[in-house]
Structure 1
Amino acid sequence: MSAAPRESIQEAAAAAALGASGVAELQPALADRLALAASRATTPGTTPHRAAGAIRCEHTPQGGWHVEVRCVLHADRRLVDVARQVREDVRTAVTACLTRRGATVPVTVLVTVTRTV
């Protein structure tokens, strides 16, 4: 698939994750932060899209999508409940995004909590 569907999936997943009660922010992976730093060095004045760096998605061999979400949660919330809600909200949002594009495929979501604040 082209970059456009991947970007749409990342945006839908990021919006869903950030909309879940108890999520403080999304956390880009180390590789994404290093790539961002490198791009800033070569292209000054660019503004990063931090949320997309916290969402990784890949097309599976079975024809579906696997989405990984890295997030920071509020410490006053029960971690497992928030992670479950993020997983369900992201799955629903990505499935809806794909359905609008005419694709009905399985979506799996992995939520990683990097820290609490």
Structure 2
Amino acid sequence: MTAFHREDIQQAAAAAALAAPGVAGLQPALADRLALAATRVHHAMTAGAASHHEVAGIRCRHTPEGGWAVEVRCILHADRRVVDVARQVREDVRNAVTACLTQRGAVRPVTVQVTVTRTV
């Protein structure tokens, strides 16, 4: 697993989630915000060293079974049913990440967890 692959998966997941009807945006967790701030400080101090950039609202990790677990934190429009939008996001993100992995010849099982942080 390389940072390049992780970033590709995060980008594919974010694009799929944002394209789902009813999604207003993605919300990073507080831990993600703190990690991003720490990464920026570390990057500034190492001046040019390769860094790992998290995509807001998307976390992914390699599972012990050899697959990928993707967590999506999203903000939804209040005029939509939360359960319907969450199901759509889960399916769209799973399909997008699977397609991303297939393009690289690395087909792996993908699980997606969607958390709705708020509605607007």
Kindly state the Cα deviation for residue 32 of structure 1 after the two structures are TM-superposed. Answer: 1.4
Q: Percent identity?
A: 75
Are the equivalent residues in 2 in contact too, given 1:28–1:51 (CA < 8 A)?
no
Kindly state the Cα deviation for residue 56 of structure 1 after the two structures are TM-superposed. Answer: 0.5
SS at match of 2:64: coil
Write the distance in 1 (CA, Å) between the matches of 2:32 and 2:2. 20
Write the distance in 1 (CA, Å) between the matches of 2:80 and 2:115. 15
| Superposition misfits of 4+ residues, deviation over 6 angstroms | none
1:19 aligned to 2:19?
Answer: yes
Are the equivalent residues in 1 in contact too, given 2:73–2:115 (CA < 8 A)?
yes
Q: 1:64-109 CA deviation, whole Å, 9 max, x = no partner?
A: 0000000000000000000000000000000000000001111000
Q: Against the structure 1 CA distance between its residues 51 and 57, is the aligned structure 2 distance closer, same or farther, given a 3 Å change threshold?
A: closer
Q: TM-score, normalised by structure 2?
A: 0.85
2:47 aligned partner: none
Are the equivalent residues in 2 in contact too, given 1:14–1:51 (CA < 8 A)?
no
1:100 aligned partner: 103
**AA matched with 1:9:** I
1:78 aligned partner: 81
Are the equivalent residues in 2 in contact too, given 1:26–1:54 (CA < 8 A)?
yes
SS at match of 2:101: helix
Q: What does residue range 1-117 of structure 1 map to in structure 2 within 5 Å? A: 1-38=1-38, 39=40, 52-117=55-120
Write the distance in 1 (CA, Å) between the matches of 2:6 and 2:67. 12
Write the distance in 2 (CA, Å) between the matches of 1:51 and 1:91. 18
Write the distance in 2 (CA, Å) between the matches of 1:34 and 1:102. 34
Are the equivalent residues in 1 in contact too, given 2:7–2:54 (CA < 8 A)?
no
Q: What CA RMSD, in Å, does the superposition of the two structures yield over aligned residues?
A: 1.8
Kindly state the Cα deviation for residue 51 of structure 1 after the two structures are TM-superposed. Answer: 7.8
Q: TM-score, normalised by structure 1?
A: 0.87
SS at match of 2:97: helix
